[in-house]
């Protein structure tokens, strides 16, 4: 008799015992999580260093970004609480995820986006999933302020990462990495915008960590007691958390909020991070740090990753890998290290930037056999 194949049904079913959700509440899920951890051999060979370098390809979540991890938990919880609508400000990916999960749950999604500053694919997702899209003349930070003000006296649930259930969902990426590696990496590199994701990963690693003398049920400092420790420590060390920003949008490097953030990586065009205090604490506790990159370097690494490894991420996501490559080269990340970079979103989210970067790559030929053959032979010569 053949055994029934066990389907993967998303991260709430997988990790419900470690999430602040009632066991009886049905998950609003699109099968998010379970993303591949891909080892990069070619780029490491190019560098000539002995490191185990991995990318966690979060672009393969259902709506193409890591936001789905948080949104499945936040929307499941919103339904449980009887909410009829969700609201978020977004640089694009949160709005795509909110729109999709709200559609699935039968809720209305209101999304506030900065006029002209979100990538085409993300806008397409929000409108296709039926969100009410409010485009404002103002950046993400203005949108975030408006969301908080409006939600204070309107019957809507905020699903930005200020909603603690978002970070609870996003922490599961750390669980998956530990399960695959059998340990925590030595370094974990992430792009930083609002700084929710770096905080969520630290929550995840910390829950698995053997904390000397700490009670298994002790709440962590980050989530106001929402964590569920399983009791049994699963890792003996936690990674150093490295956060990377775009230079024109780098409040953690300036040590102060930035009022007019600018970067081609629109996903992280944020000057007033919502998880400011938590992220500083993550850097301090983990022995990590923040660093920044000019836009050109982010785009160059995005392209190199696609061309050398077959992995396509969006410009903001390339910040994690750009950081890792630079820090490996400089020796800040020593040889022998295991390094994980989170690739937060899929490259197809932002087709305009990709095409713009590769303009010269398209060859015009006559639509006949000899011309095509000639073009091929020239390139194989």
Residues forming contacts to ligand F0G in the complex (CB under 6 A) are 65, 67, 90-94, 161, 191-197, 267-268, 270, 314, 316-317, 344-345
Residue with token string 């000639």: 374
Beta carbon nearer to ligand F0G, 29 or 197 = 197
Taking the C-alpha atoms of residue 91 and residue 21, their distance in angstroms, rounded to an integer, is 28
Of residues 66, 45, 47, the one with CA closest to residue 56: 66
Upper half-sphere CA count for residue 361 (Cβ side, 13 Å): 8
If DSSP states are collapsed to H, E and C, what string results for 111-134? EEEECCCCCHHHHHHHHHCCCEEE
As measured in angstroms, the least distance from the Cβ of 352 to ligand F0G is 15
Q: Is 60 helix (H, G, I), strand (E, B) or coil?
A: helix
Taking the C-alpha atoms of residue 345 and residue 342, their distance in angstroms, rounded to an integer, is 9
Taking the CA atoms of residue 222, residue 225, residue 227 and residue 228 in that order, the dihedral angle to the nearest 10 degrees is: 160
Beta carbon nearer to ligand F0G, 337 or 342 = 342
Residue with token string 């509440």: 25
Beta carbon nearer to ligand F0G, 83 or 342 = 342
Q: Is 80 helix (H, G, I), strand (E, B) or coil?
A: helix
Beta carbon nearer to ligand F0G, 14 or 269 = 269
As measured in angstroms, the least distance from the Cβ of 332 to ligand F0G is 21
Beta carbon nearer to ligand F0G, 187 or 202 = 202
Beta carbon nearer to ligand F0G, 192 or 301 = 192
Beta carbon nearer to ligand F0G, 47 or 300 = 300
Contact assessment for residue 88 and residue 134, using Cβ atoms and an 8 Å cutoff: no
| 37 alpha-carbon distance from chain centroid | 14
As measured in angstroms, the least distance from the Cβ of 262 to ligand F0G is 15
**What does DSSP say about strands 37-39 and 52-57: parallel, antiparallel, or unpaired?**
antiparallel
Taking the C-alpha atoms of residue 285 and residue 268, their distance in angstroms, rounded to an integer, is 24
As measured in angstroms, the least distance from the Cβ of 16 to ligand F0G is 23
Contact assessment for residue 14 and residue 28, using Cβ atoms and an 8 Å cutoff: no
Beta carbon nearer to ligand F0G, 185 or 347 = 347
As measured in angstroms, the least distance from the Cβ of 344 to ligand F0G is 3
Residues 163-202 as b or e (16 or more Cβ within 10 Å = b): bbbbbbbbbbbbbbbbeeeeebbbbbbbbbbbbbbbbbbb
As measured in angstroms, the least distance from the Cβ of 137 to ligand F0G is 18
**What does DSSP say about strands 85-89 and 108-114: parallel, antiparallel, or unpaired?**
parallel
């Amino acid at each position: 008799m053949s055994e029934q194949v066990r389907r993967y049904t998303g991260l709430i079913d997988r990790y419900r015992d470690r999430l602040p959700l009632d066991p009886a509440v049905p998950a609003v899920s699109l099968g998010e999580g379970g993303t591949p951890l891909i080892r990069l051999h070619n780029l490491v060979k190019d560098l000539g260093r002995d490191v185990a370098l991995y990318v966690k390809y979060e672009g393969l979540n259902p709506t193409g970004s890591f936001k789905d991890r948080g949104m499945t938990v936040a929307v499941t919880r919103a339904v449980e609480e009887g909410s009829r609508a969700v609201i978020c400000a977004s640089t694009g990916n949160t709005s795509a995820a909110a729109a999709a999960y709200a559609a699935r749950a039968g809720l209305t999604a209101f999304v506030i986006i900065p006029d002209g500053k979100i990538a085409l694919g993300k806008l397409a997702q929000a409108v296709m999933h039926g969100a009410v899209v409010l485009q404002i003349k103002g950046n993400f930070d203005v949108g975030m302020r408006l969301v908080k003000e409006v939600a204070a006296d309107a019957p809507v649930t905020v699903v930005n990462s200020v909603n603690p259930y978002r970070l609870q969902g996003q922490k599961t990426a750390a669980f998956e990495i530990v399960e695959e590696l059998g340990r925590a990496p030595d370094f974990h590199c992430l792009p930083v915008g609002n700084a929710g994701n770096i905080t969520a990963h630290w929550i995840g690693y910390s829950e698995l960590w053997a904390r000397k003398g700490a009670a298994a049920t002790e709440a962590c400092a980050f989530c106001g007691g929402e964590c569920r420790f399983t009791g049994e420590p699963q890792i003996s060390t936690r990674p150093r958390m490295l956060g990377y920003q775009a230079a024109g949008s780098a409040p953690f490097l300036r040590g102060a909020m930035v009022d007019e953030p600018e970067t081609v990586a629109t996903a992280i065009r944020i000057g007033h991070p919502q998880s400011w205090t938590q992220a500083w604490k993550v850097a301090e506790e983990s022995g990590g740090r923040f660093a920044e990159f000019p836009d050109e370097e982010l785009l160059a690494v995005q392209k190199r990753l696609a061309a050398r490894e077959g992995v396509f991420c969006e410009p903001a996501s390339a910040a994690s890998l750009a950081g890792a490559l630079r820090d490996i080269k400089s020796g800040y990340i020593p040889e022998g290290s295991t390094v994980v970079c989170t690739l937060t979103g899929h490259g197809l989210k932002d087709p305009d930037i990709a095409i713009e970067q590769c303009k010269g790559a398209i060859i015009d030929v006559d639509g006949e056999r000899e011309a095509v053959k000639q073009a091929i032979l020239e390139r194989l010569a």
